A and B are shown apart, each in its own frame.
Chain A
Amino acid sequence: MTTTDIMTIATRPRVENRPIRRILGRPETGALVAALAVMIFFSVYTTTFLTLPGAGVWLESASTFGIMAVAVALLMIGGEFDLSAGVMTGFTALVVGILTTQFGVNIWVAAIVSLAVALAIGALNGYVVMRTGLPSFIVTLGTFFVLAGADLAVTKLLTGQVAIQGMTKVPFYDSIAAFFGSSLTIGGGVFYISVVWWIVVTIIATWVLLRTRAGNWIFAVGGALNSSRQVGVPVMKTKVGLFMTTSGAAWLVGMISLFRTSTVQANTGVGQEFIYIICAVVGGCLLTGGYGSAVGAALGALIYGMVFQGITFAQWDTNWLRTVLGGMLLLAVFLNHWVRRRATGGSR
């Protein structure tokens, strides 16, 4: 199974071991193997990693990255990037924080307003990208800077500070916090509800991607835009929808971090966008679009969370943290790439 040459169909041999080959050919297989490797490594190397309290920590760490990575993976499969995804998580939380603490808006209304604003910005991102034909990299970089500046300026202007304080005193805080910031203690381990959101988002994204028309269109617009247009795929709708999905996910993560910590800083989320892209790529997404998986991106985030917290559990000098993270991520990508090459018989 080294090379599949181009042969006419009649002479192409039946591929042996099809089920195994098919599993290995899935984009997320490499990430799964890498995740297991990382997990086994830290479980053996540290005593705390594979305990309930330990798992609670790395699952939480992975969850918010995971939600974003899944959304960003869909966008990347659709052939676009969103560099404003990171700052959007801070922006949505700030909208809620400012509306409630400064203007006394009902916290549920504020959350819904925040979602609407996020979706509108996502739609605008998508619309501008599609209308102008500019690379989404540039367009969303612009949005990123606009939002990052607005976050700081508006927060400072209205609150006189650079972080929202006093969220817990807002009426109905607890009622909404139950949805986004609550936790469950099992055997000494604290498990946040964000992990549930992460799993739910991954399941929905996988369903959409593999079993709906929208999913078919996402692969198509990312794989070959002109072809998709020619066969009648609603390209504009699909891409704008993807940008809106990403900003919607950023809203979810914004709410989770707001109600987990009851505060949000003006610089929250800045720089996180690349981590989402890294997780998606570790999870098997091609940077060029048209290929990838939501489960893979979720696994990519899991790897990131495990490495991030595992290094702390291992009590390594954290001056090396980024180096170790970078090395681990490279390894994961190599492993992933290697597994995929094997699986596809070198044809990709």
Chain B
Amino acid sequence: MTVTLPTTPATIIEVNAIGKSYGAVNALSGITTKVNAGQVTCVLGDNGAGKSTFIKILAGAHTPSEGQLLIDGVAVTFSSPRAALDMGIATVYQDLAVVPLMPVWRNFFLGSELTRGTGPFRRLDVKEMKRVTVEELANMGIDLRDVDQPIGTLSGGERQCVAIARAVYFGARVLILDEPTAALGVKQSGVVLRYIARARDKGLGVVFITHNPHHAYPVGDRFLLLNRGTSIGDFEKSQITLGELTSLMAGGAELDSLAHELERAERRS
């Protein structure tokens, strides 16, 4: 897993003191980080830390209520996920946006099907779609002989990879992965991390959302830590070790007080 970084990696997304509030509730505030081409930006945080609000802003599902979002150095406001997609920012959600009962190739092209012919004779170009699917999956290192099988018969890691391959094929420059390893076992997680590295090596910027520092550290180049809607640090890999990352994540003091609280509660009852 040797990575040859470009000497000065081009910054695709720059997040500048961004925040989001719903009425009086501040879901997120003052977040600053960036996503470079050919690098992985990891977003770490516990449940409710604001990770999903953050990626929804990047993906164009929410508009930020403060701060600036710059794409290629230009400030932008996304009106819809489609607008983000058009700028090359693709999001792979936890449910992967796949339809389990449909064949792999139909899933691969869902929503962007290839057709041939015109008018009432406009039909799916089945042959070409199958060919591309096989080829693209092979590029990602997945050897799937039968793309006609329902995607639901693939393992979780494989499905994740199909979703990644799909985003890459449809011209993504930045890939946002929403907890891709959360529901997977150790072995399957490894498979997915390998594909994240592969996407990175192809020059894509990757935003990897996770709450597992052991998954984030090996592939990450930059780490954004969130806690209760605020940033508790935005580090480059050289600035932080796995141990520091883990302890920041675990929020040692907080855990201690929690343990204390639970103990007392137990005694009381």
Contact = CB atoms under 8 A, between A and B. Distances in A.
A9 B81 contact: no
A212 B117 CA distance: 11
Interface of B: 81-82, 85, 91, 93, 95-102, 106, 109-113, 115, 122-124, 126, 142-146, 148, 153-155, 158, 191
B101 A216 contact: no
A286 B100 CA distance: 14
Contacts of B81: 230
B122 A9 contact: no
Q: Which 4 A-B pairs have the closest CB atoms?
A: A223-B99, A231-B111, A232-B111, A230-B97
Contacts of B146: 15, 18
Contact of A213 (B82, B91, B113, B144): B113
Given A213-B113, A230-B91, 8 more contacts: A216-B102, A224-B100, A226-B97, A228-B97, A232-B82, A232-B112, A233-B111, A291-B101
B180 to A, nearest CB: 15
Nearest to A15: B146
Given A4-B153, A9-B144, A219-B102, A228 B123 contact: no
B99 A220 contact: yes
B143 A9 contact: yes
Contacts of B96: 227
A212 B110 contact: no
Most A CB within 10 A of own CB, among B82, B101, B123, B154: B101
Contacts of A10: 143
B85 A232 contact: yes
Interface string A288-309: 0011000000000000000000
B256 to A, nearest CB: 39
Contacts of B115: 212-213
A291 B106 CA distance: 13
Contacts of B144: 9
Contacts of A207: 123
Contacts of A102: none
A219 B106 contact: yes
Nearest to B98: A227
Given A8-B155, A220-B102, A228-B99, A211 B123 contact: yes
